[in-house]
Amino acid sequence: MARVLITGGAGFIGSHLVDACLAKGFEVRVFDNFATGKRENLAHVAGNVELVEADLRDLEAVRKAMEGVELVSHQGALGSVPRSVADPLTTNAVNVDGTLNVLVAARDAGVRRLVFASSSSVYGDTVELPKREEMPLRPKSPYACSKLAAEEYCKTFHKVYGLGTVALRYFNVFGPRQDPTSQYAAVIPKFVTALCTGERPVVYGDGTQSRDFTFIRNVAEANLLALDAPEEALGQAYNIALNDQVTLLQILENLGRIIGVTPNPEFAEARAGDVHDSRAAIDLARERLGYQPRVGCQEGLEQTVAWYREGGPGTLDWSA
C-alpha cells in the first residue's frame, strides 16, 4: 500500500486525516513541529505511524521526510486570520515558503499526488453567494493572501513540472479535537466550551455574519478523494463545504439546545480581516472529485458536543 506524508498531522484536521488514511490501509508518515499540533491527537495511533518532528521552513528536513512517499496531504500551516494580522511575516514564512519547500521536495521525490489545504478566505467579501471557484478572489487578510499564494504555487507546479496537485478550499471546518483554548481558536469550540462551563460566549460583531460550517468527516473524505483524483481534476482548486449558510447566532441557539442551556452572548467589536458572509458552491468538487458531504451541520454539532463532554480522545468511525 502507498505511503502518505501528512504535514501538520498532529493538528485538528491533520490528525483526522491520519485516522482516515490508516483505515484505508496507507502507510502514514506525519510531519509536524508541534507549534500548534498536539501530541495527544496522535496518542491513539502511536506505533502505527512514523513521526517526523521538524519545521516546514527547513527544506532539508522536508526533503528527508519526502523519501519513499507516493502521496502528500499538505495540511501544515499557521492558521488564523487574527494571528496573521498581528504577525504577517511568520504567517507568510510558514504558509508560503513552507508550502514551496513541500512542493519542491515532492517534485524531486516523484510524488504522484499532492493535496493542499487551502481556505475559503481567498474569496474575501465577495457579494455574490454561493462562492464559486471561477469568481474573482479578493483576500482580506495576510492569512488569506498566504493561502492564495500557496494555492497558485500548487497550480504552477502542476503546469510547469507535472506534479499532480489538488487544492481544497475548506469552509469553516469544525469537529472533535479542535482546540478551544487558543486565543485564535475557531468559534464553535469556543462556543461549546463557554456553554458547557456556564460562561458567556463571545460573539465578534452582531452575530448575523454567516458561515458554511463543515464537519471534519466531510473534509477528511474530500482529502481521500483528492489523493486519488483523476488526471483531468489536477492543477485546480475546489470548494469543500456543505453548500449551506448558518449565522453565528443560529449556531449558538442550536448548541444551546444540544447542551440544554440558554445562551447569553457577550458581543465584541468585529475583528479585522473577517468576512461577513460565506457559502460555497460544491458542484465542481462533486463533479470532478466525487465529493458528497455525508454529515450535516446539526449532526456534526451533536457529535462535536458529545466529544467535548466525554473529554476526548475518541476517534470517528472510519469503517463506516
Query: Band of the pLDDT at 252, cuts 50, 70, 90?
Result: very high
119-135 per-residue burial string, b: 16 or more CB within 10 A, e: under 16: bbbbbbebeeebbebee
Residue 11 has pLDDT above 60, yes or no: yes
Residue 277: predicted pLDDT: 85
What are the CA-CA distances from residue 170 to residues 67, 124, 167, 213 (Å)? 28, 13, 9, 9
Q: What is the pTM of this model?
A: 0.93
Residue 313: predicted pLDDT: 56
Q: What is the grid cell recorded at 37?
A: 499540533
Residue 143 designated active-site:
yes
Domains of the chain: 3-171+215-242+280-294 (3.40.50.720)
Strand partners, 150: none
Strand partners, 30: 6, 51
**Catalytic option among 143, 238, 291, 308:** 143
Strands (E), the chain: 3-7, 27-32, 50-53, 71-74, 113-119, 165-170, 173-174, 202-204, 210-211, 214-215, 236-240, 246-247, 266-268
Element (H, E) at 286: helix 283-289
Residue 185 has pLDDT above 70, yes or no: no
